[in-house]
Amino acid sequence: MKKNFFLMIISMIFILACGLPMMGGATPPPPMEEVQPISPIQIEELPTTAISEIDPVPIESTENPVQHIAQPGEPNRIRTWVTDRSSAQYASEHRSVADGFDLNIFERPFTAGEMQYQPYLDLTKVEVGEGGEWIYVVFHLEGNPPAGVEAFYAIEIDTDRDGRGDWLIGAMAPPSTTWTTDGVKVWHDSNNDVGGTMPMLSEAPLAGINRYDELIFDNGHGNDPDTAWGRIDPASTQRIQVAFKHSVIGSADTFLFGGWSDEGVKEAGWFDYNDHFTLAEAGSPLINSNDYPLAALFSVDNTCRWSYGFEPTTAYPGLCPLPEPTAIPPTSPPPDESPAIPEISPSCDPPPQGCGENSSWVGYPDCYCAPY
């Protein structure tokens, strides 16, 4: 009896201890096989004869503050950025115009069903900069996140430019302008299966792959407690900043990146979302779509991808439209005449895969797939 009693107590403590990191999150994180420490108690290693000797003290250690050594400061410089369509002008119409489900491009800062606009999820620009050992990401939003919202702001990084995200690094809407690791997560895809067989293109419903399968940092817990941080930008409450150690991504000098805001699904294990959900399940923010309004895939926005550390000339999967090639000046200008300076008209091309069903390309300066 005594042994059973202690076994029950230990089981309850274990369940409580495992539950603590999930508190405050709307969605329990997927399995955390790679997180260290996994749990203060490796209960499967305890011989049953020793259960009565278990000291409950280690459980309390999970509540001890994480001891930090280094934290971010200010970005020295912004090196690159990507802009994103605002849906503010369509808020009253409960719709957006720049959603490309088939291409993994989402413009869905709206609730499901009622299509209430959520300006704090509406990305307009994502900047990436550097400073010391840190990479800084600045998410520009149409509105400041109200206190207590559980929106996740993340950068997705494709280090080998194959269209498959390799890292997903983000923070739950931070409470203040002070850097914190609370609510900050770093996901990794260990076996390169994010995106299925056609990265960025919808293959839903696609099962049998594990997508982002390693949560290497969670709320300050991981091999390095200083891995990644988040805060409200001191310069504007409409901006969220995330900083992470450059070493986390192998100090990659060049990579592709895209920005995310997500208060709906928030499942790294379901990326790419357009492989997990069919369009009929996800719903659509496009007013003319048969799948309007939003359903399972709601309260989310992302950007097309752009480059860090290099100038792209190849249309990598998910890349924003490349600028038109610069006109070449005449090689043999007429004598006694200065070489003609070519007039360069800004323009942009549709995605190489096309705009998908029920939409067509709108050229410069809009550069997006619009519904019929």
Closer of 134 and 167 to Ca ion (Cβ): 167
- C-alpha angle 115-202-103 in degrees, rounded to nearest 5: 70
Residue closer to Ca ion by CB (options 140, 266) is 140
Question: Nearest distance from residue 95's CB to Ca ion, in Å?
Answer: 13
Specify whether the CB–CB gap between 6 and 52 falls below 8 A. Answer: yes
CB of 29 to Ca ion, least distance (A): 15
Catalog residues that contact Ca ion under the rule CB under 5 A: 84, 122-123, 158, 160, 162, 164, 166, 189, 191, 193, 195-196, 198, 201, 203, 210, 213, 275, 301
* Residue with smaller CB distance to Ca ion, 88 or 295: 88
Which of 13, 249 has the CB closer to Ca ion?
A: 249
In terms of CB distance, is 61 or 254 closer to Ca ion? Answer: 254
Smallest distance from the beta carbon of 153 to Ca ion, in angstroms?
13
Closest CA to 260 of 103, 102, 122: 122
Q: Judged by CB, which is closer to Ca ion: 179, or 212?
A: 212
Judged by CB, which is closer to Ca ion: 30, or 350? 30
Q: Are 38 and 223 in contact (CB under 8 A)?
A: no
Tokens in use for 127?
């900047």
Spatial separation of the C-alpha atoms in residues 370 and 372, rounded to whole Å = 7
* Alpha helices (H) along 167-283: 273-276, 279-282
CB of 107 to Ca ion, least distance (A): 5
Give the count of alpha carbons within 13 A of 149, CB side only.
19
CB of 150 to Ca ion, least distance (A): 19
Unique residue bearing structure tokens 């299509």: 115
Q: How far is the CB of 114 from Ca ion (least distance, A)?
A: 19
Distances (CA, A) of 304 to 81, 143, 193, 272: 11, 20, 20, 13
- Shortest Å distance, C-beta 174 to Ca ion: 20
Residue carrying the six token digits 């003609």: 340
3-state SS string for 75-113: CCEEEEEEECCCCHHHHHHCCCCCCEHHHCECEECECCC
